Chain A
């Protein structure tokens, strides 16, 4: 290590802070013994560090005991002192209380309401559908119940046990009147597996619903002799 490299590296500080790599450490030691400028540099750095340590300890004896790094909070009489004077503080705190009351009584409930309406795409509930019944009794009182808010998305979880083996199945969610309110496809790979089917946007009215699966469409999306493969019935109840 030469003099310029020692200066460029800030070698004196690094050495005293224990930051010089092993190889440079030995090289720097050899150098500062041999170079009077670097000898003065490291002596000055070590002296400064020790002087600073001693000076700071003498200067702030109370902080040594208190172990305080963060400056203390300014006294009340400081720049912010006027904020705490009654003439200012009383009306301000009264206004604050009114504002908080308004927030809690009006704004927050309104936001909650709008949030439940606007979060139609967020799935918050999941319901297990009992039985995997083909041609099951739609009037069965033991049908699974789905309790959601109007328009609230939910997930139906069930065992997918369709008849036949197809690469894909179609499904329809039918209301009590037999109208299809939702529809989609499910891969044949899911056969004999537990499937979670999201019902985005939920349903518009309570009542009995049926999830019906059909065998096959052809590769062009054309329905060919659609035959029912599985049917699951459940009841939707709206939470008030």
Chain B
């Protein structure tokens, strides 16, 4: 898997309004911002609003002041998003002074609704789940299907949180390998198609 590294050139292109760089910027941070905002248990509309606000502020700040450490552009986006979240909470809780209780996260799994899931991804997940031992299969099904609290599901199956987390981690790793292969295969086919 090829990892992306932010550079001074990238940031300059984004500052100058290069369309493909802007497209990459939005694509790269889209899911990260959704995950971060969803972790605050915010409503879907609020997540969308705050995400858009973050994009706008990043571009405005970039064009106005630039970025001191372009290689840490991700941390810069995160900082802007933190400011946006704080302002949102200030605006919605005027009756009480602002504090950082927005970071007091409930012990709930993150709602990942809103992520774009393709048919192919679901097929890969099914494949991975079918290959698991029956107990693990049932455990994941109980968690995702019944939407019970994970502690309740773990108690039902006689396992602890660590077991469940490791199970999830391993399944995700397998998924990632298959998914990367799919992507490589797709890009290979596209390249071959372009050459012919």
Q: Is B68 an interface residue (CB 8 A)?
A: no
Alpha-carbon separation in the docked complex, A67 to B145 (Å): 9
**Which A87-114 residues sit within 8 Å CB-CB of chain B?**
none
Q: How many residues of A contact B (CB 8 A)?
A: 46
**Which A115-131 residues sit within 8 Å CB-CB of chain B?**
none
Q: Is the CB of A17 within 8 A of B74?
A: no
Main secondary structure of the interface of B (DSSP, over half): helix
- The residue of chain A having its C-beta at the shortest distance from the C-beta of B148 within the complex is A69
Alpha-carbon separation in the docked complex, A25 to B39 (Å): 10
> B146 is contacted by which of A26, A35, A40, A67 (Cβ under 8 Å)?
A67
Find chain B residues with CB under 8 A from A71 CB: 138
Q: Is the CB of B125 within 8 A of A55?
A: yes
> A34 is contacted by which of B74, B108, B129, B171 (Cβ under 8 Å)?
B74
Alpha-carbon separation in the docked complex, A201 to B108 (Å): 62
Q: Is A84 an interface residue (CB 8 A)?
A: no
Q: Mark A52-72, 1 if CB is under 8 A from B, else 0.
A: 111111111001100101010
> B106 is contacted by which of A15, A18, A44 (Cβ under 8 Å)?
A18
> A15 is contacted by which of B110, B123, B140 (Cβ under 8 Å)?
B110
Q: Is the CB of B3 within 8 A of A22?
A: no
- The residue of chain B having its C-beta at the shortest distance from the C-beta of A45 within the complex is B172
Q: Is the CB of A60 within 8 A of B75?
A: no
A residues near B (Cβ < 8 Å) are 10, 12-19, 22, 25-26, 29-30, 32-37, 39-40, 42-60, 63-64, 67, 69, 71
With A56-B140, A56-B144 already in contact, 20 other A-B pairs whose C-beta atoms are closer than 8 Å? A13-B169, A14-B165, A15-B39, A16-B35, A18-B107, A19-B165, A25-B105, A33-B32, A39-B74, A40-B1, A40-B3, A45-B168, A48-B168, A50-B112, A51-B122, A51-B124, A51-B175, A52-B125, A69-B141, A71-B138
